[in-house]
């Protein structure tokens, strides 16, 4: 009897330990290299991972640990970012160039090591150097811990749907032309679904991506907007979609015929093949929110309200608040070939009138960790320097020119942080997908016009707000997010439209260490890339 009781107790205990016991260590090798591909009737070289475009899909389970050795065989510097992973205390694995690491130089390598902790759903990975993200990206799928079901009926099959943009020329050359002339970058030539533009465009009919499903079966589509600069509407002809997750966070399921994703966002949808057997277009088309600004008007073939699936405990009260404008600006300069923005200016973007400048000799996290002076200041303004009618179409030109700076905002560990993102009408109002590295946050509210803390506070959803890592700030409007600063380090906050990020629409949070050992940033790994020019 004693043996029986011991066995029952052991089995009971084992049932709690089993998920952790079966967690795996997963190793990948990513070789960044030039690859010859053909799109839109033209053969050209692009930068890929392991010769694949899109790059390899990483599939892991919650609780796994991951090591990804990145080998740079390309001619450009490169870093890799695991978009949406919290990287607790481990900014060294986050990846943005000169924010948490110096780049991997041509011929060099670096192993990103991180643990998957309490996350599941669809994320993605991408290069975070220059414009390499255009072709260096792929899906990151986190399954629930083994034996734990989805909170919705298990689908018969799952497919990543990776949306991207395509240029007929090297995207790095497109960026360099913009940096030289001061004009906004040229728009892309096509939208892609899983690396192909589809049969509406020339030389593409035979290569259109196909997602095979059986009649009557339900498929989970993991949709990822990896586009550089374009927000995208996605629809499936003849079918409705049931949204079940966004940014790797489950939602209250709801049915829709179209979803909108800004660059960086992911949405999981269930689709049941209830129509007659046949071929049905999955289509993606640009959402152009800025009036008078050129955009990619092609259609690739192959704003909805989301709530958390159950009531959540929204953190409060707020102990640190930032009200920041997000939008464009123009630098005055002498007329000439380097000043080809509107009215002889150079294109710029900013947050609270600060156009963010990355360092180029050492990363921000290294400067913070090793107390290296002169790399950044911690005086990012928590309020705009001047309050005005932010969304007016007639903003005085005196307010159009930002100042350049590498300014961080210092946050106490454990603080409840609330950020109000306010779009401006300078140059052109536009929707901005704002991404916060190292954190998921609750989206409390959004709206159009100028944010008013008294008038708009009653709009806050403090019961079941969605949790995201990238939020679309409405064109000519605002969004309010809130989170607990429980992840120490330096974390980039930026618009995920790369033309805007390049122009300076970014800042960084410097989250201080807490008092306990597990509330401090980890020591840097020994193979962290050297910061040398």
Q: So where are the chain's domains?
A: 25-148, 159-307, 320-519
Question: Structure pTM?
Answer: 0.92
Q: What share of the chain is helix, strand, coil (3-state, %, to 5)?
A: 10, 40, 50
CA 344, chain centre distance (Å): 32
Q: How confident is the model at residue 336, as a pLDDT?
A: 86
Q: What is the pLDDT of residues 132-163, one digit of tens each?
A: 999 999 999 999 999 999 999 999 999 999 99
Cβ-Cβ contacts under 8 Å for 112 (sequence gap 6 or more): 66, 67, 68, 70, 80, 82, 93, 95
Least confident segment among 50-59, 245-254, 330-339: 330-339
Specify the higher pLDDT residue, 284 or 35: 35
Q: For residue 437, give the nearest of 68, 95, 160, 76 by alpha carbon.
A: 95
Burial environment of residue 484 by CB neighbours within 10 A (0 to 12, 13 to 18, 19 or more)? middle
Specify the CATH number of the domain 320-519.
Answer: 2.60.40.420
The pLDDT value given to residue 310: 86
85 or 288, greater pLDDT: 85
Give the model's confidence band at 453: pLDDT under 50 very low, under 70 low, under 90 confident, else very high. Answer: very high
Class of domain 25-148: mainly beta
Q: Do residues 165 and 176 lie in contact, with contact meaning Cβ atoms separated by under 8 Å? A: no
Mean pLDDT value across the chain: 91
Q: Which of 526, 502, 439 is nearest to 92 (CA)?
A: 526
**Strand pairing category for 489-495 and 345-351:** unpaired
For the cut 50, the answer to whether the pLDDT of residue 11 exceeds it is no
Domain 159-307, CATH homologous superfamily name and number: Cupredoxins -  blue copper proteins (2.60.40.420)
Give per-residue pLDDT as tens, 86-126. 999 999 999 999 999 999 999 999 999 999 999 999 999 99
The residues, any chain, with a CB within 8 Å of residue 315's CB and separated by 6 or more, are 416, 442, 482, 483, 484
CA distance 135 to 165: 9
Q: Is the pLDDT of residue 7 over 70?
A: no
Element (H, E) at 14: helix 2-21
Tell me the three state secondary structure of residue 515. coil
SS (H, E, C) 15-33: HHHHHHHCCCEEEEEEEEE
Do the domains 320-519 and 25-148 match in fold? Answer: yes
Confidence tier at 280 by pLDDT (50, 70, 90): confident
Other CB atoms closer than 10 Å to residue 75's CB: what's the count? 11
The pLDDT of residue 519 is above 70 = yes
Per residue in 357-377, pLDDT (tens digit) is: 999 999 999 999 999 999 999
How confident is the model over 291-307, as pLDDT tens digits? 444 444 444 434 334 87
Distances (CA, A) of 68 to 110, 319, 489: 8, 37, 21
Beta-bridge partners for 39: 42
Lowest mean pLDDT among 157-166, 288-297, 344-353: 288-297
Q: Stretch 485-492: mean pLDDT, rounded?
A: 98
């Amino acid at each position: 009897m004693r043996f029986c009781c011991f066995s029952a107790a052991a089995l009971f205990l084992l049932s709690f330990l089993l998920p952790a016991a079966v967690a795996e260590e997963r190793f990948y090798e990513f070789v960044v290299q030039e690859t010859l591909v053909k799109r839109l009737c033209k053969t050209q070289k692009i930068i890929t991972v392991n010769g694949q475009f899109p790059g390899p899909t990483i599939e892991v389970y919650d609780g796994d640990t991951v090591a990804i050795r990145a080998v740079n065989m390309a001619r450009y510097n490169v870093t890799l970012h695991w978009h949406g992973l919290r990287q607790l205390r481990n900014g060294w694995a986050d990846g943005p160039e000169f924010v948490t690491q110096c780049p991997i130089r041509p011929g060099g390598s670096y192993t990103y090591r991180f643990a998957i902790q309490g996350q599941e759903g669809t994320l993605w990975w991408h290069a975070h150097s220059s414009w390499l993200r255009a072709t260096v990206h792929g899906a990151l799928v986190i399954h629930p811990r083994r034996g734990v079901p989805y909170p919705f009926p298990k689908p018969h099959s799952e497919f990543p749907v990776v949306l991207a943009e395509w240029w007929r020329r090297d995207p790095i050359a497109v960026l360099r032309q913009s940096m030289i002339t001061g004009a906004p970058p040229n728009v892309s030539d096509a939208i892609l679904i899983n690396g192909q533009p589809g049969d509406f465009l020339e030389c593409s009919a035979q290569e259109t991506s196909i997602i095979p499903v059986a009649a009557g079966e339900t498929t989970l589509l993991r949709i990822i907007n990896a586009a550089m600069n374009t927000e995208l509407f996605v629809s499936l002809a003849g079918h409705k979609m049931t949204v079940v997750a966004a940014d790797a966070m489950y939602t209250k399921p709801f049915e829709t015929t179209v979803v909108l994703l800004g660059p960086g966002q992911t949405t999981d949808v269930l689709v049941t093949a209830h129509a007659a057997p046949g071929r049905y277009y999955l289509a993606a088309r640009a959402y152009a929110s800025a009036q008078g600004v050129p955009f990619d008007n092609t259609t690739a073939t192959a704003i909805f309200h989301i709530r958390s699936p159950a009531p959540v405990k929204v953190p409060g009260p707020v102990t640190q608040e930032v009200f920041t404008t997000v939008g464009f600006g123009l630098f005055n300069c002498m007329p000439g070939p380097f000043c080809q923005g509107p009215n002889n200016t150079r294109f710029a973007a900013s947050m609270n009138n600060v156009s963010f400048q990355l360092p180029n000799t050492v990363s921000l996290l290294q400067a913070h960790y090793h107390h290296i002076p002169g790399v950044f200041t911690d005086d990012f303004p928590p309020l705009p320097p001047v309050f005005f009618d932010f969304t007016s179409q007639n903003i005085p030109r005196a307010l159009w020119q930002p100042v350049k700076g590498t300014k961080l905002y210092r946050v106490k560990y454990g603080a409840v942080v609330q950020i109000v993102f306010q779009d401006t009408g300078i140059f052109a109002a536009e929707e901005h997908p704002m991404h916060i590295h190292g954190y998921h946050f609750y989206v409390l509210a959004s709206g159009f016009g100028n944010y008013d803390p008294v008038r708009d506070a009653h709009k806050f959803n403090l019961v079941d707000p969605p949790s995201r890592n990238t939020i679309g700030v409405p064109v000519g409007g605002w969004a309010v997010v809130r989170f607990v600063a429980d992840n120490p380090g330096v974390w980039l906050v930026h618009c995920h439209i790369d033309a805007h990020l390049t122009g300076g629409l970014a800042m960084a949070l410097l989250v201080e260490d807490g008092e306990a050992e597990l509330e401090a940033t980890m020591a840097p790994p020994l193979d962290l890339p050297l910061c040398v020019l």
